[in-house]
Each structure stands twice: as structure tokens, then as C-alpha cells.
Structure 1
């Protein structure tokens, strides 16, 4: 398997590094609870605004990517991450969260588009038997960003007794996120990307606004998408609980950075381990789905059971002066281990969700819409979760909500796994000539623009 520039693997690696530098750094900031601030209110409201716009642009993201292409949509979206990180510098000096909330809303627009492009690349570029491995490769590179992003606040805040990140932490994130946005321009046009077997990843000739509008509407009457809706809704709902009520409420500022390094690091481990199962040749695809489902089911129930035990021990969190430090192993070891296992659980859930969606089709434009639906509904759940945190709903009730929602997602998720076929059917004919495709799409786009004028 070579690393040709136009190979599917190379493109997945490139988009992995884009997400390493943009969403990865965002995760490092967000994972410390309240955006790394002592008072989490502004960060929680910003996340509510973020995921509220993400709902809309997650669903629309696939259509936008299909119409605008992956390079320029990712390039523009990446800068919304930098603006969000920069807003915390303003918050540090003005103690006014309005700019951070507005930046969060704009980030929701960019994130919806970026993740639709990323998901389309990750699940439609590889061959069927490679999808689990490609998801793991992406997830490893992406979460390396969150892991290394945790080192930055850990190092800068090592001797700090403050409850909030310094300006230097946020400046570092802004620089890295701008680099990530620019890296998006290094992606190749999908029409020129080929798999190792020589097949093209592009399956349809072109799209237009009317077609995309119709196809988006169809998502909401698609039985399989509706069955996956609870899974989508739940898949980021737990972040606010884990980031705010475990990492943010129980640990001091430097240990929050320390925990983040390993939370995202353990995500890499989780993604790698489940990829071994999802691409195993020992079982047919449906059997692999059943086994992965059981792994996710057991692991998440164990996580929420551990979270309940931790909540019973610290029902109101800890005062700033009493918060846990990573050097105090006697007090901190158990909560830290639980938090790290939360990272593994997130990787298992997300990797499995992407694999399920990738198993439904090999059509890149259809999968862009499916991923957009997934990210949009995921963000719908996240927006509600962050607003529950912002409204200071009790920690116990947030925990119950997470556990119940996971339980609700289980039966329809299992039904979709049961419906998975051994081989997905390509809906549209393949292209043999990437250059003629580009010319045809260009001519079509020009015609649409002329008609609009």
C-alpha cells in the first residue's frame, strides 16, 4: 500500500492532520471544562450556541461539501476554530462572554461543514474491507492533536494556582488552528483520488442545489437514518458531563491538562482496538457488527456505573483549594482512570458509528449526506447537553440523562446492524476519466452560475 499523493490513504492522513490541528485543539480547550476557565458559564453557553448552529450546518454540510468541494470548504471552516480560541483571550481580559458565545455560534457553522467533508473522505475513500482501519488511522491522528493540545496547558499552567488558562495557552491554539485551515488546501479533488485497486472514489458525475435539497429532505424519511437518530443524538451528549463534572469539577488546572493528554491518547488506543475487530476477516460483516455492538454496550454501562460511584463520592464536586492533583495518587488515581476509560469509550462509540454509516453505501456523495445527518443530530444532542450544564441542572440528573439516552439508542442501533449487508451496493456508475469529470462539473457549475445571474 503506497503513499501516493492521489491515494485514498494519503487523503485520509491529510484530513487527519487538518483535524489534528483544528478540532483536535478545540477538544484540548473544551476537555478542560468550561473552555479552561474557572467559571464554566461562558464556555457552556458558547458550546450551546456552537452545537445549535452545528445542528443546521451539520445536516446541510454534506450538501455544501458536494457543491463546493472539500478543499475550500475545509480551508474556510478551519479559521472558525481559530476565532473561537481567540475569543477566550478576550474573555480573560474583559470577563465578558458575549464574544465567546458569538464565536461559538460561528464555529458551529464551520464545524458542521468540516466534519461532513472529513466524514465523507474517511468512510467513502477506502475499500469496504479497509474502512475500520482507515477510521482508526484518522482517529489516531486526530486525537493526537487533543493529546498534544493537553500538553500545552499542562506545561504553561504547571506552576499556576489560577483556575483559568493563561493567554499563552490560547495564543498557541490559535496559531495551530490557522495552520490546520491552510493544510486543507493540500487535499486533492475527489475526482482524482484512486484506491489501491485502481478504482476511483468518485461515483457520481455532479450535483446541484435542487438535487441536494431533495436528498437532504429524504434523509428525514429514510428508515435507517431515523433508526440511527438516537445513536447520533447520544454520541456527543456525554461530553459536557465528562468535561465539566469530572475533569472540570474535580481536578486543578494543571491536572485537567494532564488528564486531557491521556483522555485523547486513550482514544487512539480505543480506535485501534475496535478497528482490529471491524476489519477482521474471521467473521462476516454482520457478525463483526454484533460483536462491536456488545463491546460498546458493555463498556458504556461500565463507564456510567463508575461515574455513578464517583458522583456518590463527590456529589457537589470539590472547592478550588481541595481539587485533585495528579501527584496525589491516593486520591486522584481512581477518578483519573475513570476519565481515561471515558476516552476509550468515546473512541469505541464514534468508530462504531462511522463504521455502521460506512457500511450502508460506498457512494461518496450519499455518504457525505449521511455523515452530515449524523453530525447534525449529534450536535442537536450536544446543544441540549451543554445547555443543561449552563442552566446548572444537577450533576445527578445529567448523569441519569446520559445513561437513559444511551439505553434508548441501543435497540435501533442493533436493528441497523442487523440490516447491514456483506457488501454495499454502489448506486451510481464509476468514472474512468477524472479530468473529464472535472471539466463536466466545471461546465455544469458555470451554467448554474449563469442561470443564477
Structure 2
């Protein structure tokens, strides 16, 4: 790759990581963004997502131990194939109307994705230097979300003249791209051979006992950082159910759902790049960067959900799979992007939801990356983060599966995000200027906090 980007360079590995996620969760995001996995009846997709995130909780807790033991290549490869299995299962629904395979595929994806995302989080937070964390997050986030943009294009192209559930061709295209993405994982270098920008190497401590390491993850419930960040973790995927189902899945025609996904994920790429300039600005203290970042995020959250409430007050349901089908009760019916007078505002609002998502998740990764530079500990933090995130996601998908009123779902999301952001503001005032390694204090809380030495025993 030339002198500037040798294979073992940390930045090169982040680029490879981005393309893995471009092909696997990037496609999953685009598919999920249509609401119900692209089916008119969202029940199967909602139940599959619930099964996914329940299993994700388990694999997330054990993910750090498994990644530390088995490495990143094969854990990400195996997890990536589960994304393809999930997408392919919808072809079975199209031909049989039976949802059991998709729900089963969702559970299998949950087991694989928990380990997949733990490996991703470990790479993401441990490879950059202190002054590169925001930049590396952006490099990854832009490539990753290109997958969502491509997925939106695939959906738009394969369903341009098709209304109803997504076609077999759309699902087959997603399956093929996800298989290619999983194969990219085999190109990753072992973390022990990765070289950071300053020439230092990523240190990985061997795991002798996976169960003991998993127990160390559970002990994170006693870590002050983790306790404060639990609401942020819980809410970080919670809003997807509402945005993808009651909003995008209910208001728009099939092709417009794909069109919207192009802008939702595209907005994330732009936002992440701009946000990096703040998070990596060395002229500001880390405390100020954290505080400004959280306050910007909080302002955008309230603007976006305020606008969403205004839209939500106009309708109560999307298209229903009755005989004959019942259209949405939004004034004028489903919105098509060609009807610019009706579509401009709702489509732009959906893109703004992508901006809010990028700010929230970039802030989450950045805050977690400030705790330590130790890759093994960060793998456990990533597993803990994904486990808590999955609890929230499992709950949120069931809200839609149980037909909880759209307006109630919206209010729950808005309140949860505001409470989480206020706790992040509190944390920002206590953040330290340097990430800690091993057994150093994590938060200035009036008394030194040291991680239980037993949590390090098998790492």
C-alpha cells in the first residue's frame, strides 16, 4: 500500500475495519432502516430484532473474553456471515409467509454480532493515539456508513417500480455484499503486530480463562464510569426502532424508504467528519471537548425530536397488512420522494435523525476511549457497552412489536436521550486529561477509584 499506509499501520487496519462493517452491519442497517426488514407487516422483523438483541446481550458479555482469546480475524469473519444469513432469511418469508427462519436467523446474528462488535470496539478504541481518537472514529464511521448509503441505493434501484415488501433481488444483493464484507475480516492483521502512528505497538494480554474474563466484564457494574454511562449505552440503539419503523417504515413508499436511507447514512458521514474537528482539537482541554461535544449532541437531540413530535401528531399508523391492505392515516397517504412538496420536510427530518445518531455514537465511542489505552480492557468495555446497548434495543423493538402507540414510543425515546445526555454532561466535568492504563483512577470523584485487581487476573 505504499510507505504512508503499510499493512500493519493502525490507520490501514481501521480502513480495513471500515470495509468489513461497510459490507456487514452497513447492509443490515440499510435493510433494517426500511422498517420490519422491508416487510409490510413488521411483526416478523420486530420479533427477529428482539431475538437478535437478547442473544446479543449474552454474546456481548462474553465477547471481550472470546476476542481476547481467539483474536479479531475469525471472530469478525464468523460474526459477519450471520448478517448474510439474516438477510437471506427474508427470501424464505417472501415465498412462504413463515417467519420462524428469520427469527432464528436473528438469534444467530445476535450471537455472532455481539462478538463481531466487541472486536470492532477493541480495534476502534485501542489503535489510535490520544490525539487521533476522533479522527480514527471518523475514518471508520465514513466507510461504515457508505455501506448504508450503498444499501439505500440498492433498495431504491431494486424496488423503484415495486410497492409492498422488498423483492427477492434486493435481499439477494444484501446477502452477497455481506458475504464479501465478512471475507474482508480475514485480511485484518493480528493486533499484536499493529503499529501506531508513533511507532508503538498495541499490547494484547493473553486470556487463559474465558469464563473468568467474562466475570471481569460483569464486575464493570461496579465501575463508576460504566454506571454513569449505562443510560447512554442503553439508549444508543433504542431510537432505531422508532426511526426505522413508526417513522420511515410507516410514512413513505417502498422506494422512498431506500431513498431516505441514502441520506440518513450519508448525513452520518458528513457529521462524523465535522465532529472530529472538535473532539481532536488539541487547543482545548479534554474536559472542554467532552463538554462541548455533549452539549452540541444534546441540542441536536432536542431539535430533532421536537420536529419529529410535530410530524407524529399528524398520524397514528403506517400501512397495515390487512385484506385489503390499509394505508397509513398520514394526510394524503404514503409520501413519495417525487412529490417534493410533501416529501421535502419529512425526508430532511429523517436525514437529521442520521445526524443525531452520528453525534450520539461518536460521542459514546470517544468517551469510552478516554478511559484507558489498554486493548484488553477496551475489549471488555466494548463488550459491556454492546451488552447494555442490546438490552435497550431488545426493549425498543418489542415496543413496536406490541403495537405501543407511536407517540408514546417517541416520548420514551426523547426522555431517555435527554436523561442520558445530562449524565454525560456530569461525566464531562470529571474527565481526565490522559487515558489511564491498568490500575489507575478513572474518575475524579473525591476519592481514588481503582479497578479490582482480580478483574485483571486473566487478561
The TM-score bracket by the shorter chain reads: over 0.9
Distance verdict in 2 for CA 1:203–1:42, change over 3 Å: closer
Matched residue SS, 1:39: coil
Q: Is the 8 A contact 2:80 2:116 kept in 1?
A: yes
In the TM superposition, 1:25-36 aligns within 5 A as 25-36=27-38
Q: Does 1:220 align with 2:231?
A: no
Q: 1:407 aligns with which of 414, 418, 430?
A: 418
Hey, what does 1:122 align to over in structure 2? 124
Hey, what does 2:322 align to over in structure 1? none
Matched residue SS, 1:159: coil
Q: Is the 8 A contact 2:50 2:395 kept in 1?
A: yes
Q: Is the 8 A contact 2:148 2:261 kept in 1?
A: yes
Q: Is the 8 A contact 1:22 1:176 kept in 2?
A: yes
Q: 2:400 aligns with which of 389, 396, 405?
A: 389
Superimposed CA distance per residue, residues 218-238 of structure 1 (whole angstroms, 9 cap, x where no aligned partner): 112112101110000001100
Superimposed CA distance per residue, residues 8-38 of structure 1 (whole angstroms, 9 cap, x where no aligned partner): 1011111110000000000111001110111
Q: Does 1:343 align with 2:354?
A: yes
Hey, what does 2:443 align to over in structure 1? none
Q: Is the 8 A contact 2:34 2:245 kept in 1?
A: yes
Hey, what does 1:374 align to over in structure 2? 385
Q: 2:138 aligns with which of 136, 139, 142?
A: 136
Partner Cα distance (1:111, 1:214) in 2: 20
Hey, what does 1:89 align to over in structure 2? 91
Partner Cα distance (1:2, 1:294) in 2: 36
Distance apart, 1:56 and its partner CA: 1.4
Structure 2 gap ranges (5+): 320-326, 440-457
In the TM superposition, 1:34-113 aligns within 5 A as 34-113=36-115
Partner Cα distance (1:425, 1:386) in 2: 36
Distance verdict in 2 for CA 1:63–1:13, change over 3 Å: same
Q: Does 1:423 align with 2:425?
A: no
With normalisation by structure 2, the TM-score equals 0.91
Q: Is the 8 A contact 1:84 1:103 kept in 2?
A: yes
Distance apart, 1:414 and its partner CA: 2.0
Partner Cα distance (2:258, 2:354) in 1: 14
Partner Cα distance (1:144, 1:91) in 2: 28
Partner Cα distance (2:418, 2:110) in 1: 27
With normalisation by structure 1, the TM-score equals 0.92
Distance verdict in 2 for CA 1:210–1:153, change over 3 Å: closer
Structure 1 gap ranges (5+): 429-447, 449-453
Q: Does 1:255 align with 2:256?
A: yes
Partner Cα distance (2:67, 2:49) in 1: 24
Structure with bigger helix share is 1
Q: Is the 8 A contact 2:94 2:168 kept in 1?
A: yes
Partner Cα distance (2:292, 2:94) in 1: 47
Distance apart, 1:350 and its partner CA: 0.1
Hey, what does 1:355 align to over in structure 2? 366
Q: Does 1:312 align with 2:313?
A: yes
Hey, what does 1:435 align to over in structure 2? none
Partner Cα distance (1:182, 1:333) in 2: 39
RMSD over aligned Cα atoms: 1.6
Hey, what does 1:150 align to over in structure 2? 152
Q: Is the 8 A contact 1:131 1:355 kept in 2?
A: yes
Q: Is the 8 A contact 1:66 1:207 kept in 2?
A: no
Partner Cα distance (1:373, 1:328) in 2: 45
Distance verdict in 2 for CA 1:174–1:203, change over 3 Å: closer
Q: Is the 8 A contact 1:82 1:175 kept in 2?
A: yes
